[in-house]
């Protein structure tokens, strides 16, 4: 990693290691779904942990925490004089407007998009994608049955929607609005949002492993799809805490950082404890001057000026668990800063953080399960399904020093990956990260697997360790066929939970 952050002990930063230990013991609860955790104080890392198979060098998808980066790109472009926040949105797309846009659409400005006050009654993000609605595909440019799917013009779709409210008067969370910000930035600066942020932010901060998904019309999706390592996300939090300064250089003016992280729209009607309001694609807390980047399933970068802290974590859990995590972090860690006497325990804390792991499948190993040899190596052709799985085969181990192997057909391709017992084995699928959409894809490039037998079924967990997703497959074999029950730890789509059946086919 280029330009890693400095490390100090918790005691050197005025934090009691016992508080951190108590917090980690709480976060070890598997239902909370934590994947990584990092705390900075006075610009230095005081504690960090990754839940194996997640790791420091692996980027993690950020979902809607990506929105803040889009907001920062707009601020950079405004600072460069490439656009103004008072520009009307329609002025940037004269060739893609309908014959007559509604009155409120004509009034909408870039500032309204930034503050989620565009005026929509509902986010128009729920629109036809570049694939049939009943297909969960591997990305926005996928093919289906050998034919290129028709592409959707996401910009034109935005302008085809009715704007119910006067822009600037109502907060309605709008991912499609963030996509429009990405498109405006690209038109304003002549390069993609990602290329522009690489120049303005990522390269100066030494961030080298970032990537960002593209929409069907060539713009970075803006509202999701950015991938960063935990430490790189923490660097951006520290950059904001520094008021736009990095290595003594003022990259983004303090005024723009102040504007971006201040409340522009209140949201008293929303059930959001301690949230004071919304800034430029960023959530503002009412405590200690805190503001947060937030993404689905637990992607958080919290900047806490009142404590000179940055707290970052990634995960894969649903809403109730996420709220519990954040409030417990505040209770056990943030509130205790500089109140406790720094105690001993840094070594024990380090030992604890090194032991973190996503739980593996509980059960018996294949080499101790007599029926494993009976089904080993058999190939099953799967019926048509929304997951686009075409076949499955397991080669079961007959010795403790050998993993099982999964071979899964995915449309016209297939991949084989090892499956660990009591551990995670890493592998690569046939899908490239650039081909995936983190909102809807089922299979991703980097995967770690764990498996075991329970009673008459074999269970596999596929941990896509650069995403929030852990897929579970339960396989029940019988003469001539297999039943595959599929589920995921967290998802936007109910269709991910499904049962497939397969017929045994002769090996070629």
Number of domains the chain contains: 3
Same-domain pairing of 351 and 376 = no
Three-class secondary structure of residue 326 per DSSP: helix
How confident is the model at residue 471, as a pLDDT?
98
Domain boundary among 303, 329, 358: 358
CA distance 264 to 284: 10
d(CA 267, CA 459): 44
Query: Which pLDDT value is given to residue 141?
Result: 36
Indicate whether 145 and 292 sit together in one domain: no
CB 424 within 8 A of CB 415: no
Q: Are 175 and 277 in the same domain?
A: no
- Are 198 and 294 found together in one domain? no
pLDDT of 136: 41
Asked if residues 299 and 226 have their Cβ atoms less than 8 Å apart, the reply is: no
Read off the CATH number of the domain in which 451 is found. Answer: 2.40.128.20
Residue 2 is predicted with a pLDDT of 67
Query: 482 is written with which tokens?
Result: 């297999």
34 and 144 within one domain: no
* 112 in Cβ contact with 265 (< 8 Å): no
The pLDDT of residue 271 is 74
Domain that holds residue 163: 66-222
Q: What confidence score (pLDDT) does residue 135 get?
A: 36
> Are 318 and 191 found together in one domain?
no
**Residue written as token pair 């060098």:** 57
What confidence score (pLDDT) does residue 151 get? 57
Q: Any idea what the CATH number is for the domain that residue 166 is in? A: 3.40.710.10
Same-domain status, 395 and 280: no
Q: Which of 304, 338, 358 represents a domain boundary (last residue)?
A: 358
For residue 129, which of 498, 410, 440, 495 has the smallest C-alpha distance? 440
pLDDT in tens, 476-498: 999 999 999 999 999 988 889 99
What are φ and ψ of residue 398, in 5° steps? -120, 15
CB 217 within 8 A of CB 156: no
| Whether 159 and 202 share a structural domain | yes
488 and 457, same structural domain?
yes
Same structural domain, 76 and 174 = yes
- Inter-residue contact 145 to 127 (CB < 8 Å): no
Same domain, 115 and 29: no
Cα Rg, the chain, nearest whole Å: 24
What pLDDT is attached to residue 101?
A: 78
The model's pTM is 0.94
User: What is residue 379's predicted lDDT score, i.e. its pLDDT?
Assistant: 96
Whether 176 and 219 have beta carbons less than 8 Å apart is answered as: no
371 and 351, same domain (yes or no): no
Q: What is the pLDDT along the chain (508 residues), one digit of tens a residue?
A: 468 999 999 999 989 899 999 999 999 999 999 999 999 999 999 999 999 999 999 999 999 999 999 999 999 999 999 999 999 999 999 998 887 778 999 999 999 999 999 999 998 876 545 433 333 443 433 333 333 444 568 998 899 899 999 999 999 999 999 999 999 999 999 999 999 999 999 999 999 999 999 988 899 999 999 999 999 999 999 999 999 999 999 999 999 999 999 999 998 767 777 889 999 999 999 999 999 999 999 999 999 999 999 999 999 998 677 778 999 999 999 998 877 766 677 788 989 999 999 999 999 999 999 999 999 999 999 999 999 999 999 999 999 999 999 999 999 999 999 999 999 999 999 999 988 998 889 999 999 999 999 999 999 999 999 999 999 999 999 999 999 999 999 998 888 999 999 999 986 6
Alpha-carbon gap, residue 131 to 140, rounded angstroms: 7
């Amino acid at each position: 990693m280029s330009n890693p952050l400095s490390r100090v002990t918790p005691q050197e930063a005025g934090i009691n290691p016992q508080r951190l230990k108590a917090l980690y013991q709480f976060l070890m609860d598997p239902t909370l779904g934590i994947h990584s955790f990092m705390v900075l104080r006075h610009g230095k890392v005081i504690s960090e942990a990754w839940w194996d198979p997640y790791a420091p060098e692996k980027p993690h998808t950020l979902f809607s925490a990506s929105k803040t980066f889009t907001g920062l790109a707009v601020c950079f472009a405004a600072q460069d004089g490439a656009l103004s926040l008072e520009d009307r949105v329609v002025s940037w797309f004269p060739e893609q407007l309908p014959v007559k846009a509604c009155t409120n659409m004509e009034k909408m400005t870039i500032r309204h998009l930034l503050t989620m006050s565009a005026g929509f009654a509902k986010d128009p993000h729920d629109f036809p994608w570049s694939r049939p609605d009943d297909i969960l595909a591997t990305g926005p440019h996928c093919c289906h049955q050998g034919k290129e799917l028709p592409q959707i013009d996401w910009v034109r779709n935005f302008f085809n929607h009715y704007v119910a409210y006067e822009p600037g008067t109502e907060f309605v969370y709008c991912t499609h609005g963030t996509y429009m910000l990405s498109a405006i930035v690209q038109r304003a600066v002549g390069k993609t949002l990602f290329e522009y942020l690489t120049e303005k932010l990522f390269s100066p901060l030494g961030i080298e492993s970032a990537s960002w998904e593209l929409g069907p019309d060539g713009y970075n999706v803006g509202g999701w799809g950015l991938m960063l390592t935990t430490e790189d996300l923490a660097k951006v939090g520290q950059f904001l805490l520094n008021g736009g300064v990095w290595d003594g250089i003022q990259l983004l003016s303090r005024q723009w950082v102040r504007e971006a992280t201040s409340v522009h729209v209140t949201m008293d009607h929303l059930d959001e404890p301690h949230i004071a309001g919304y800034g430029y694609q960023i959530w503002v807390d009412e405590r200690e001057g805190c503001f947060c980047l937030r993404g689905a399933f637990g992607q958080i970068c919290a900047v806490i000026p009142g404590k000179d802290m940055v707290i970052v974590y990634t995960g894969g859990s649903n809403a109730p668990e996420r709220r519990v995590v954040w409030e417990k972090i505040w209770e056990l860690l943030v509130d205790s800063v500089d109140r406790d006497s720094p105690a001993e325990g840094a070594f024990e804390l380090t030992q604890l953080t090194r032991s973190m792991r996503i739980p593996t499948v509980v059960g018996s190993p294949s080499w101790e399960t007599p029926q494993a040899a009976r089904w080993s190596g058999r190939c099953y052709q799967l019926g048509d399904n929304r997951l686009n799985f075409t076949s499955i085969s397991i080669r079961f181990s007959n010795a403790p020093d050998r993993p099982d192997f999964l071979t899964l057909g995915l449309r016209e391709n297939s991949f084989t990956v090892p499956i660990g017992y009591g551990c995670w084995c890493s592998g690569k699928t046939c899908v490239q990260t650039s081909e995936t959409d983190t909102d809807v894809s089922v299979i991703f490039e980097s995967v770690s697997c764990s498996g075991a037998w329970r009673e008459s079924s074999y269970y596999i967990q596929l941990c896509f360790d650069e995403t929030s997703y852990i897929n579970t497959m339960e396989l029940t074999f019988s003469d001539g066929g297999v039943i595959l029950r599929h589920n995921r730890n967290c998802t936007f789509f109910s269709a991910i939970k499904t049962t497939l059946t397969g017929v045994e086919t002769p090996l070629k």
